[in-house]
Amino acid sequence: MSDTVHNSSKLSRIAELGQRVLDGGQLTREEGLWLFNLEETSDIISLLSWANRIRERYKGNKIHLCSIVNAKAGACSEDCSFCAQSSHYQTGSPKYGFVDPEPVMQAVDEAKQNGVTAVSLVAAWKGLNEGPMLDEVCDRIRELKAIGKTRPDASLGIIKSQHVADRLKEAGLECYGHNLETSRRFFPNTCTTHSYDDRVQTIKHLKQAGIKICSGGILGMGETREDRCELAFSLREIGANVVPVNILNPIKGTPYENNPPLSVMEILKSIACFRLILPRQEIMIAGGRTVNLRDAQSMIFMAGASAMMVGNYLTTLNQPVEKDLQMLKDLGLDPSWDKHGFSDQEEGGCGCGHESCAAEPATV
Ligand code: SF4
């Protein structure tokens, strides 16, 4: 009897928090952590159903598809413990310099055929400075912008000068990927060659330049639920527009190669918590989806995800794009996100997809 009462009070609290977010309110850190700490399957399923309603409220049935091109691979000076491309570990991952335009154009063509909205140029290096490489990156962004097939995004590491961010903006860059990765507390366990503050400062330069921010993290590196909660609130504070949630795919040769996998319910619950803490943002499920979620991949949308990375990841394989598109079709979800832009992140914006609701771009 007391168990029943206890459980019904937990369900009532989940409903109260879910309803508040649905009505446009926000969670406190203490409330977010309480959700991250839910253990029982029935509580987690209840949370997922609220996350699903909140996704539908702000995103309708639109799903943003994004893919990446590894524009410079391997031999990275940094020691990120999860990464196959770090020169600090023997992983057998490919290594090549900044790619010519042709393979990038080919990737963009393929992405366009598959209904992908944005293709991000990703480079394995510490960061981008003034000089010939910045010129080359800007040329590539201009070319991609000119052909107009998909939105050219970029993820090019740490930016230390406002001028570099401004040059990217001038070249036509709309959105830059730069994960916080985890909480400030846990970050030194993951990387020692640059700091959490280097990452935060990069995001500040990009925002100052008027570039939208794609920033999230990785679950399953050994962080606590408090760290996951802290990451979600940091992303809210920093004003991320797109929040990639990666789930560790342990790479042989890296320090995390033997990390135990998170359970499927723990992953889905974490996605749902991100949705409740970041109700208007794109919550994008990225690396590690197939290997960690297996047959439960379609549950990410019920957990509140509104975006998905398709095609292969930087160093690991994803399931075929056709399978992902079929999954969306089976669920009645629509990948034609591009009509909508970032307008649904504004106060009053919604997931209806009407042109009038997409009239003004969001300010970050
Ligand atoms: S995550 Fe990026 S910065 Fe870190 S080692 Fe990999 S490529 Fe380098």
81 and 256 in contact (C-beta within 8 Å)? yes
Q: Is the CB of 314 under 6 A from ligand 1?
A: no
Q: Is the CB of 282 under 6 A from ligand 1?
A: no
Q: Summarize pLDDT for 295-317 with one digit per residue, the tens.
A: 999 999 999 999 998 876 555 55
Q: Is the CB of 76 under 6 A from ligand 1?
A: yes
Mutation pick for ligand 1 pocket among 85, 180, 187, 313 (CB with most ligand atoms within 8 Å): 85
Residue recorded with tokens 């918590």 = 273
pLDDT bucket at 356, cuts 50 / 70 / 90: very low
Mutation pick for ligand 1 pocket among 68, 77, 83 (CB with most ligand atoms within 8 Å): 83
- Ligand 1 atom at shortest distance from the alpha carbon of 123: 7
Distance CA(348)–CA(326), nearest Å, equals: 32
Residue (of 156, 88, 89) closest to 124 by Cα position:
156
Mean pLDDT of 187-215: 96
Handedness of CA 130, 77, 137, 283 (dihedral sign): negative
pLDDT at 357 over 80: no
- Kindly report the pTM of this predicted structure: 0.90
Residue recorded with tokens 């940094």 = 78
Residue (of 157, 217, 191) closest to 79 by Cα position:
191
Q: Is the CB of 157 under 6 A from ligand 1?
A: yes
Distance CA(224)–CA(151), nearest Å, equals: 35
Q: Is the CB of 202 under 6 A from ligand 1?
A: no
Question: Kind of pairing, strands 242-247 and 282-285?
Answer: parallel
Q: Among 10-19, 40-49, 90-99, 278-287, where is mean pLDDT lowest?
A: 90-99
Give the CA distances from residue 259 to residues 81, 222, 223, 255, 325, in Å, rounded to whole numbers and listed in that order: 11, 7, 11, 9, 31
Q: Is the CB of 173 under 6 A from ligand 1?
A: no
Give the CA distances from residue 29 to residues 32, 90, 228, 283, 341, in Å, rounded to whole numbers and listed in that order: 5, 39, 11, 19, 29
Q: Is 282 exposed, middle or buried (0-12, 13-18, 19+ CB in 10 A)?
A: buried
C-alpha 259 – ligand 1 centre gap (Å): 19
pLDDT bucket at 364, cuts 50 / 70 / 90: very low
Give the CA distances from residue 113 to residues 11, 84, 102, 178, 252, in Å, rounded to whole numbers and listed in that order: 44, 29, 17, 26, 34
Q: Among 15-24, 270-279, 281-290, 307-316, where is mean pLDDT lowest?
A: 307-316
Give the CA distances from residue 179 to residues 103, 114, 145, 253, 276, in Å, rounded to whole numbers and listed in that order: 25, 25, 24, 22, 19
pLDDT bucket at 354, cuts 50 / 70 / 90: very low
Q: Is the CB of 281 under 6 A from ligand 1?
A: no
Distance CA(48)–CA(187), nearest Å, equals: 28
User: What phi and psi values does residue 62 have, to the nearest 5 degrees?
Assistant: -85, 135
